[in-house]
Amino acid sequence: MLSLYVPILVLAGLAAVFAIFSLGLGAFTGPKRWNRAKLEAYECGIEPTQQPGSSRFPVKYYLTAMLFILFDIEIVFLYPWAVAYDNLGAFGLVEMVLFIVTVLVAYAYVWRRGGLEWD
Amino acid sequence: MSGLASAAHPGLAAADPTLASFDHQPWWLVTIKVLFVFLFLMLMTLFAIWAERRVIGRMQQRPGPNRAGPFGLLQSLLDGIKLPLKEDIVPTHVDKLLFWLAPAISVIPAFVSFAIIPFGPEVSIFGVQTPLQLADLPVAVLLVLAMSSMAVYGIVLAGWASGSPYPLLGGLRASAQVISYEIAMGLSFVAVFLYSGSLSTTAIVAKQSGANTEFHLFGAILHWPSWYAVLLFPSFVIYVITMVGETNRLPFDLPEGEGELVGGFHTEYSSLKFALFYLGEYINMTTVAGLASTLFLGGWRAPWPISVWPDANTGWYPLLWFLTKVLLVLFFFVWLRGTLPRIRYDQLMRFGWKVLIPVSLVWILVIATIRVWRTHGGSPAVYTVAGLLVVALLTLLFMGDAAAQRRAQAAEEAAAQAGLPVRPGGTAGEPGPAGGGPGFPVPPMDLPHYHGVGVDVSPSEITPEESGESRATTKEVTGA
């Protein structure tokens, strides 16, 4: 069955070659005109505030990423269940209701604590 | 067997590929197909950019690009030739390696995820029977989800590596938006998998062929709707919304909202690096359009009035139906852009997390219940208990949200009575900074560079050799 992946890998290889070729080409074909202001960060003409590589950003984004992992894993559990559903019958339904209700409890908790609010 | 099927079902007979048809394809066939997919995506991008500019022009009552070639058709091609001839600016403060890698990381997964989209049934290419599809996997649709998660890295790394505020904010917004809408997108697929019993795209298209769905009404043979877009309409609606969110298109194009973030994550990019980001965006649009056709619109099969024609679903014709469906979905993207204004970021996230996800979960339970009831029957008690559980939980959720809103409103009123300024978020805030007006941060109006101080080279920024030698050898090119 692994041979099914071969065409996908070939396409990925072609895409990678194309991307690297484009990146290289862009560095050679364009003009090079040195200008100090051009090499600064673009901030609509305001003097750029110096940003260290790891500048700080709202913790909100971390929370969203963690919630994403929580729900994405839930979805991964739903897929095999959906594929095998016709063989499971009412048992599968009850199982999944219990599972989704458990996840909804966590979801309601996050909602209630303001985890889904953006300001 | 196939003759019998075509006799009974003239419009629906087609050589249905299975997973086995993809095992051990000859190497030259793989090469042809890979090149075809690659060229298709490149041409589709050029065409889609041109078509979008023309259509949006018409919608805004202006001609759009009409100079290069007939109807301006060569416009995107000439833009593609122009871009490498522009200067490839790499600002001084960027993280060099990631700044170079990010465009590649965002464009490669875009190409890969199109590999599993079926274009048509089995055809004969140089005497070999093969499906018009590069590859299929038992987990084909998962590949698309995986690759769209990978592409987020390109965006977030581009924003982070640029080391300036606009790209950073754009990259963060893009990543948060894409992952939020990916949950709802993943949930909208579950109903499709429930009905098709498979994640492989060929199997999903085969299941929508409409075989064994006829019923008799007053002597006429009619068919149940076989497209999942009709059968699973709520899933289709959720998918359409999330596919626009996933590709960062209007009305969800917050990551590059020009009014607030300049270009978003690609503000600092120019030349071909910029082109790669655009290529990635348009390929992603083509992919989600192809996926919409495959999962919900019957794939490459002809729609009803055409499917009466016996040859509609054989040979190379399905390529035509597939392309038509993809182009219609792409037109829908442009139509949205011409119609809807951009929504606010908090509205976007609230809609994704508080509407799309619970609605999808409830819809999955509903469709699962209907399906088990239709195939197995079963005791009503089980359904009643399950239904009550879901209803109780939703009520709890709703009450929780209503209580939170009441509290916020009460706090607002209390603050208004106390004469304190109120922040738009609804919480009573402290008085704004001294001299900054009520509750709104205004920067001090006499920063040094407003008076020409520090606008020129400050001593800490420039090293002696840069100010001396390099400026002597390299002529600074300014607009003046």
The pLDDT assigned to B243 comes to: 92
The pLDDT assigned to B439 comes to: 55
Is the Cα torsion angle B265, B268, B273, B278 positive or negative in sign?
A: positive
The pLDDT assigned to B437 comes to: 45
Q: Closest Cα of chain A to B8: distance in Å?
A: 27
Minimum-distance CB partner of B168 among A25, A57, A89: A57
Q: Closest Cα of chain A to B63: distance in Å?
A: 30
Minimum-distance CB partner of A30 among B86, B162, B276: B86
Partners of residue B125 on adjacent β-strands = B128
Q: For residues B272 and B81, give the distance between their C-alpha atoms in angstroms, rounded to a whole number.
A: 10
CA distances from B242 to B146, B150, B239, B341 (A): 16, 17, 5, 17
The pLDDT assigned to B421 comes to: 55
Cross-chain Cβ contact A118/B349 below 8 Å: yes
Cross-chain Cβ contact A7/B33 below 8 Å: yes
Q: Closest Cα of chain B to A106: distance in Å?
A: 11
- pTM for this predicted structure: 0.81
Q: For residues B136 and A3, give the distance between their C-alpha atoms in angstroms, rounded to a whole number.
A: 11
The pLDDT assigned to A38 comes to: 79
Q: For residues B243 and B337, give the distance between their C-alpha atoms in angstroms, rounded to a whole number.
A: 14
Minimum-distance CB partner of B34 among A10, A50, A71: A10
Q: Domain coordinates of chain A in residue numbers?
A: 2-112
Which of B105-109, B160-164, B421-425 holds the top average pLDDT? Answer: B105-109
Task: Tell me the pLDDT of chain A (119 aa) as tens digits.
Answer: 778 888 899 999 999 999 999 888 888 888 888 887 778 777 777 777 665 555 677 788 888 888 888 888 888 889 999 998 888 877 888 888 888 888 888 888 888 888 888 76
Amino acid identity of B246? E
Is the Cβ–Cβ distance between B190 and B239 less than 8 Å?
no
Cross-chain Cβ contact B34/A11 below 8 Å: yes
The pLDDT assigned to B450 comes to: 60
CA-based nearest residue in chain A for residue B388: A97
Is the Cβ–Cβ distance between B348 and B242 less than 8 Å?
no
Residue B395: pLDDT band by 50, 70, 90 thresholds?
confident
Residue B478: pLDDT band by 50, 70, 90 thresholds?
low
Query: Quick check: B29 contacting A, CB < 8 Å?
Result: no
Q: Tokens 């054989």 sit at which residue?
A: B314
Q: For residues A28 and A26, give the distance between their C-alpha atoms in angstroms, rounded to a whole number.
A: 6
- What are φ and ψ of residue B86, in 5° steps? -90, 155
Please name which of B133, B158, B132, B129 lies closest in space to residue B143, comparing C-alpha atoms: B133
Helices (H) and strands (E) in chain A, counts: 4, 0
The pLDDT assigned to B452 comes to: 58
pLDDT above 90 (res B40): yes
From chain A, pick out residues whose CB is under 8 angstroms from the CB of B364: 78, 100
Percentage of chain A exceeding pLDDT 70: 92
Is the Cβ–Cβ distance between A5 and B137 less than 8 Å?
yes
The pLDDT assigned to B427 comes to: 45
Partners of residue B456 on adjacent β-strands = none
The pLDDT assigned to B3 comes to: 38
Which of B262-271, B429-438, B452-461 holds the top average pLDDT? Answer: B262-271
Mean pLDDT throughout B426-435? 43
The pLDDT assigned to B324 comes to: 92
Q: Tokens 């990631």 sit at which residue?
A: B98
Maximum alpha-carbon separation in chain B: 94
Q: List, for residues B258-272, the tens digit of each pLDDT value.
A: 777 777 888 888 888
Q: For residues B251 and B159, give the distance between their C-alpha atoms in angstroms, rounded to a whole number.
A: 21
Q: What part of B 333-362 touches A (C-beta under 8 Å)?
A: 345-346, 349-350, 353-354, 357-358, 361
* Cis-peptide into B251, omega within 30 deg: yes
Minimum-distance CB partner of A7 among B25, B262, B476: B25
pLDDT above 60 (res B10): no
Cross-chain Cβ contact B376/A82 below 8 Å: no
- Any idea which of B93-107, B384-398, B434-448 has the lowest mean pLDDT? B434-448
Q: List, for residues B314-336, the tens digit of each pLDDT value.
A: 788 889 999 999 999 999 999 99
Cross-chain Cβ contact B176/A65 below 8 Å: yes
The pLDDT assigned to B448 comes to: 63
Average predicted confidence (pLDDT) for chain B = 80
Residue B413: pLDDT band by 50, 70, 90 thresholds?
confident
Question: In a 3-state reduction of DSSP, which class is residue A102?
Answer: helix
Domain A2-112 CATH assignment equals 1.20.58? yes
Query: Quick check: B18 contacting A, CB < 8 Å?
Result: no
Q: Closest Cα of chain B to A66: distance in Å?
A: 10
CA-based nearest residue in chain B for residue A9: B112
Minimum-distance CB partner of A100 among B37, B92, B361: B361
Cross-chain Cβ contact A23/B168 below 8 Å: no
Q: List, for residues B172-227, the tens digit of each pLDDT value.
A: 888 888 888 999 999 999 999 998 888 999 888 888 887 666 666 666 666 667 88
Cross-chain Cβ contact B376/A41 below 8 Å: no
The pLDDT assigned to B17 comes to: 77
Is the Cβ–Cβ distance between B343 and B252 less than 8 Å?
yes
Cross-chain Cβ contact A97/B386 below 8 Å: yes
ipTM (interface pTM): 0.89
Q: List, for residues B50-91, the tens digit of each pLDDT value.
A: 999 999 999 999 988 888 888 888 998 998 888 888 888 888
What six digits make up the tokens of B67?
């100079």
Is the Cβ–Cβ distance between B421 and B438 less than 8 Å?
yes
CA-based nearest residue in chain B for residue A31: B87
**What's the 3-state SS for chain B?**
CHHHHHHHCCCCCCCCCCHHHHCCCCHHHHHHHHHHHHHHHHHHHHHHHHHHHHHHHHHCCCCCCCCCCHHHCCHHHHHHHHHHHCCCCCCCCCCHHHHHHHHHHHHHHHHHHHHHCCCEEEEEECCEEEEECCCCCCCHHHHHHHHHHHHHHHHHHHHHHCCCHHHHHHHHHHHHHHHHHHHHHHHHHHHHHHHHCCCCHHHHHHHCCCCCCEEEECCEEEECCCCHHHHCHHHHHHHHHHHHHHCCCCCCCHHHCHHHHCCHHHCCCCHHHHHHHHHHHHHHHHHHHHHHHHHCCCCCCCCHHHHCCCCCCCCCHHHHHHHHHHHHHHHHHHHHHHHCCCCCHHHHHHHHHHHHHHHHHHHHHHHHHHHHHHHHCCCHHHHHHHHHHHHHHHHHHHHHHHHHHHHHHHHHHHHHHHCCCECCCCCECCCCCCCCCCCCCCCCCCCHHHHCCCCCCCCCCCCHHHHHHHHHHCCCCCCC
With 0-12 CB in 10 A as exposed, 13-18 as middle and 19+ as buried, what is B32?
A: middle
Cross-chain Cβ contact B474/A11 below 8 Å: no
What six digits make up the tokens of B377?
């029957």
Q: For residues B331 and B137, give the distance between their C-alpha atoms in angstroms, rounded to a whole number.
A: 29
Percentage of chain B exceeding pLDDT 90: 22
For an interface test with B, the pick among A2, A9, A38, A81 (most B C-beta atoms closer than 10 Å) comes out as: A38
Q: Is pLDDT larger for residue B117 or for residue A3?
A: B117
Maximum alpha-carbon separation in chain A: 71
The pLDDT assigned to B295 comes to: 92
Cross-chain Cβ contact B85/A114 below 8 Å: no
For an interface test with A, the pick among B18, B196, B274, B376 (most A C-beta atoms closer than 10 Å) comes out as: B376
Query: Quick check: B404 contacting A, CB < 8 Å?
Result: yes
Minimum-distance CB partner of A40 among B91, B111, B455: B91
From chain A, pick out residues whose CB is under 8 angstroms from the CB of B164: 41-43, 48, 51
Please name which of B348, B328, B33, B306 lies closest in space to residue B177, comparing C-alpha atoms: B348
- Any idea which of B167-171, B273-277, B370-374 has the lowest mean pLDDT? B370-374
Minimum-distance CB partner of B100 among A23, A52, A100: A23
Cross-chain Cβ contact A38/B272 below 8 Å: no
Cross-chain Cβ contact B365/A51 below 8 Å: no
Rg (CA), chain B: 28
The pLDDT assigned to A55 comes to: 65
Residue B5: pLDDT band by 50, 70, 90 thresholds?
very low
Is the Cβ–Cβ distance between B166 and B269 less than 8 Å?
no
